[in-house]
């Protein structure tokens, strides 16, 4: 059997029926196990090297207080945030690729990541404020960009190609605005904002992890509810409406959820490119699903982000690269391989 079907309360008002493909379960399970193993290995790195046995002992409470602080307060928050940020970007990319029905439809291409970065930059360089203010600025910037892109792309509904073209244009304008903000800022603030803008996990603690966890706890149930209508929407507006799915309101909800996922990551780690673009497509190719699946994209996104962060720490150790530099390189290799594979098919 290639599928598993889970049913609960079928025939009742709140009955649930869920189909799980065995291949999808295997891929998700393999990536999940690989991510856990990589997380344990990643926590052994640092100025004070540890063994896997010491890491496990810190979790069990059998190691010294110093080692427990290093593991639980120093290294674990970074690992958790990398996985959650990658998962959030993977789901956001899956949402927009489903909406546009195009593998290039990701928040960093359409401009929503740039909008969130602009909002955060405005708070950092102009208004001033703490992490909460920066996160609010990133969310406001991403939502405002979404409103502008959606309004300009709207013409008796929103078509995927139009959304991408308008998003690329708005992204170019925002890049210019971001450069102007950095150029006109004071030198120290501009350097700090530029470093943050490359994407980083250095120095992050549980204070940054908690808002990301809360956001995912709020938005993930919403995604579970709208995942099936989203797949129906991929068949086109007419087909969706014939099946009882209201296309335009669903698009608005999907855009809001996708922007929210992108904005919260950008607020605390800076704009990180290509994870939202690559993770859904990697998951799609490995699972061979009919469309872009949300939760395989989340698992692949978490694994991809953690791998990139480990490489950022170890490639030029003890110097640490911004994780955004590594993801950009991986994304570039991914795009080249995609072009080569398409050229061979032709």
Separation between Cα atoms, residue 79 and residue 81, nearest integer Å:
6
Give Cβ neighbours of residue 21 (< 8 Å, ≥ 6 apart). Answer: 2, 3, 4, 287, 289
Tens digit of each residue's pLDDT (9 = 90 or more) over 106-129: 888 888 888 888 988 888 888 877
What pLDDT, on a 0 to 100 scale, did the predictor assign at position 160?
66
Q: What tokens appear for 26 in the block?
A: 């295997």
Tens digit of each residue's pLDDT (9 = 90 or more) over 217-254: 998 888 888 888 888 877 776 777 777 777 778 888 88
Separation between Cα atoms, residue 118 and residue 133, nearest integer Å:
13
pLDDT in tens, the chain (346 residues): 455 555 554 444 334 445 667 888 888 899 999 999 999 999 988 788 888 888 888 888 888 888 888 888 888 999 999 999 999 999 999 998 888 887 777 888 888 888 888 988 888 888 877 777 877 888 888 889 888 888 888 776 666 677 888 888 998 999 899 889 888 888 888 887 777 777 888 877 888 888 889 889 998 888 888 888 888 877 776 777 777 777 778 888 888 888 889 888 888 888 888 898 888 888 888 888 777 788 899 999 999 999 999 998 888 777 788 888 888 888 777 777 777 776 676 6
Q: Bridge partners of 20?
A: 4
Give Cβ neighbours of residue 221 (< 8 Å, ≥ 6 apart). Answer: none
Alpha helices in the chain (DSSP H): 22-42, 52-60, 65-69, 76-100, 107-110, 112-122, 131-153, 160-184, 187-197, 206-233, 237-242, 247-269, 275-287, 294-314, 323-345
Phi, psi of 20 (to 5 degrees): -120, 120
Nearest to 226 by CA among 89, 104, 99, 111: 99
- What is this structure's pTM? 0.86
Q: Bridge partners of 116?
A: none
What do you get for the CA distance between the two ends of the chain, in Å?
A: 34
Domains in the chain, CATH or no CATH each: 21-345 (1.10.3470.10)
């Amino acid at each position: 059997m290639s599928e598993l079907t889970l049913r609960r309360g079928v025939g009742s008002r709140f009955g649930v029926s869920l189909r799980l493909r065995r291949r999808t379960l295997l891929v998700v399970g393999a990536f999940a196990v690989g991510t856990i193993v990589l997380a344990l290995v990643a926590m052994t790195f640092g100025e004070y090297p540890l063994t896997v046995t010491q890491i496990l002992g810190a979790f069990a409470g059998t190691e010294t207080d110093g080692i427990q602080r290093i593991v639980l307060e120093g290294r674990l928050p970074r690992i958790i945030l990398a996985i959650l940020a990658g998962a959030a970007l993977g789901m956001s990319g899956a949402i927009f690729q489903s909406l546009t029905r195009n593998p290039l439809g990701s928040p960093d291409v359409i401009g929503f990541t740039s909008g969130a970065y602009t909002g955060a930059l405005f708070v950092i360089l102009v208004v001033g404020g703490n992490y909460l203010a920066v996160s609010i600025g990133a969310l406001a910037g991403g939502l405002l960009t979404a409103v502008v892109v959606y309004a300009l792309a709207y013409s008796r509904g929103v078509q995927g190609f139009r959304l991408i073209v308008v998003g690329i244009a708005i992204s170019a304008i925002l890049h210019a605005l971001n450069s102007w903000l950095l150029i006109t800022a004071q030198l120290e603030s501009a350097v700090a904002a530029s470093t943050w803008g490359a994407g980083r996990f250095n120095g992050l603690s549980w204070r940054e992890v908690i808002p990301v966890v809360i956001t995912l706890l709020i938005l993930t149930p919403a995604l579970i509810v709208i995942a099936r209508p989203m797949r129906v929407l991929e068949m086109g507006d007419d087909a969706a409406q014939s099946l009882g799915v209201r296309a335009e309101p669903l698009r608005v909800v999907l855009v809001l959820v996708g922007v929210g996922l992108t904005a919260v990551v950008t607020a605390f780690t800076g704009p990180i490119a290509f994870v939202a673009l690559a993770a859904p497509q990697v998951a799609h190719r490995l699972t061979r699903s009919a469309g872009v699946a949300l939760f395989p994209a989340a698992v692949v996104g978490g694994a991809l982000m953690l791998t990139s962060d480990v490489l950022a720490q170890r490639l030029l150790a003890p110097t640490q690269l911004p994780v955004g530099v590594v993801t950009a390189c991986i994304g570039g290799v991914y795009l080249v391989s995609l072009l080569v594979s398409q050229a061979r098919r032709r």
